[in-house]
Homo-oligomer: A and B are copies of this chain.
Amino acid sequence: MKLRRVGEDALIASLVRELPASRKLIGDDCAVVEFRGAKNLLVLKTDCVVEKIHFRSSTNPELVGWKAMMRSLSDFAAVSAVPQFALITLVLPAAKSTSWVQKLYRGLKRAASRFDVAIVGGETSATRGPAVISVSVSGFVEKNRWISRRGGKNGDDLFVTGRLGGSLRAKHLRFVPRINESRWLTRNFRVHAMMDLSDGLGADLPRLVKASKLGFKIDKGSLPLAPGAKIDNAISDGEDYELLFAIPPRERRRLEKAWRRKFPKLPLTRIGSLLHPSSFNLQPLRRGYLHFQ
């Protein structure tokens, strides 16, 4: 069967099923593993952008570089980890100009230095096809601050940062991953589950809910909309790179108050809660079973 008939999720799922049962900890957004003799966990993430798939040939290459780096860093925000080192692989057609590559690299470097990430190496290759930029980042997270998608509890409040929808109009090339916000959250609050929103709330929320083996209830009217976005955009557009997290309701008031002081320009919105599936009469949540009330 050709790949065009199989979705990316299905391909990943089939490959992961074949992985040998691992002794290592593995997160959903990043790999989170033990490093010999270290107190902190080692966090690893790779991501790539492909010309004509993730960006147009005419897109400003500095913004392409920025996005290529920030996509991986957003996954560090998802698990509350600190990124430190990046390796960059550039697969480039001979027809690209050196000034295109220099601008691309400037974007990669600007994005890395925004979070004090050192670019420590990489690789370049020719190709007869479109450009591919792959970025691998490593860093650390304290054992007691690593957050996965799996820890959500019945009754937890669901929060999102920022505003959702319409990212493809410009934000997706200029976004700043919520690393500072994520680190602040785990320093000060008992966050049960967290992820970053890359495929849109409608695809990502069910992943967190399923990983936590729960159901959810969302107030669509409460969704924080980006300027010009409608509710459907907030659910389906994707590439928001905001945080979605679950936190016990007893933390709600302290969180909302402290957030406004710490991040006055960034909205924080309670959009619903995690619930035991039986409490609203649904079958166990499964893929494709998206239920927004």
A36 touches B33 (CB 8 A): no
Asked whether any CB of chain B lies closer than 8 Å to the CB of A93, the reply is: yes
| A127–B51 CA distance with the chains assembled, in angstroms | 8
A46 touches B121 (CB 8 A): yes
A127 touches B130 (CB 8 A): yes
Please name the residue on chain B nearest to A29 by beta carbon. Answer: B121
Please name the residue on chain B nearest to A53 by beta carbon. Answer: B126
Q: A40-B37, A94-B4, A127-B50 are in contact. Are A121 and B45 (CB under 8 A)?
A: yes
Asked whether any CB of chain B lies closer than 8 Å to the CB of A140, the reply is: yes
A118 touches B22 (CB 8 A): yes
A105 touches B35 (CB 8 A): no
Please name the residue on chain B nearest to A106 by beta carbon. Answer: B18
Q: Please give, as numbers and ranges, the residues of chain B lying within 8 Å of A89 by CB-CB distance.
A: 46-48, 134
The CB with the most chain B CB atoms within 10 A, among A24, A113, A121, A132, is that of A121
B36 touches A87 (CB 8 A): no
Binds B, one of A8-16, A216-224, A234-242: A8-16
Q: Please give, as numbers and ranges, the residues of chain B lying within 8 Å of A95 by CB-CB distance.
A: 2-4
| A47–B3 CA distance with the chains assembled, in angstroms | 24
Please name the residue on chain B nearest to A112 by beta carbon. Answer: B20
Interface code A24-53, partner B: CB below 8 Å = 1, 0 otherwise? 101000110101111110101111111011
A94 touches B3 (CB 8 A): yes
CB distance from A179 to the nearest CB of B (A): 16
CB distance from A78 to the nearest CB of B (A): 13
Asked whether any CB of chain B lies closer than 8 Å to the CB of A54, the reply is: yes
Q: Please give, as numbers and ranges, the residues of chain B lying within 8 Å of A74 by CB-CB distance.
A: none
| A94–B23 CA distance with the chains assembled, in angstroms | 33
Please name the residue on chain B nearest to A131 by beta carbon. Answer: B129
B93 touches A22 (CB 8 A): no
Asked whether any CB of chain B lies closer than 8 Å to the CB of A60, the reply is: no
Interface code A44-72, partner B: CB below 8 Å = 1, 0 otherwise? 11111110111000000000000000000
B126 touches A44 (CB 8 A): no
Asked whether any CB of chain B lies closer than 8 Å to the CB of A173, the reply is: no
| A22–B20 CA distance with the chains assembled, in angstroms | 38
Asked whether any CB of chain B lies closer than 8 Å to the CB of A281, the reply is: no
| A20–B36 CA distance with the chains assembled, in angstroms | 29
B91 touches A48 (CB 8 A): yes
Asked whether any CB of chain B lies closer than 8 Å to the CB of A119, the reply is: yes
Of the A-B pairs whose beta carbons lie under 8 Å apart in the complex, a sample of 25, sorted by A's number, is A1-B98, A2-B94, A3-B92, A3-B97, A3-B98, A8-B125, A8-B126, A18-B109, A20-B109, A31-B120, A33-B118, A36-B38, A45-B87, A45-B121, A47-B89, A49-B125, A50-B127, A53-B125, A53-B126, A54-B125, A87-B136, A91-B134, A127-B132, A128-B129, A129-B129
In the A-B complex, the 4 residue pairs with the closest CB atoms: A129-B129, A4-B94, A31-B120, A38-B38
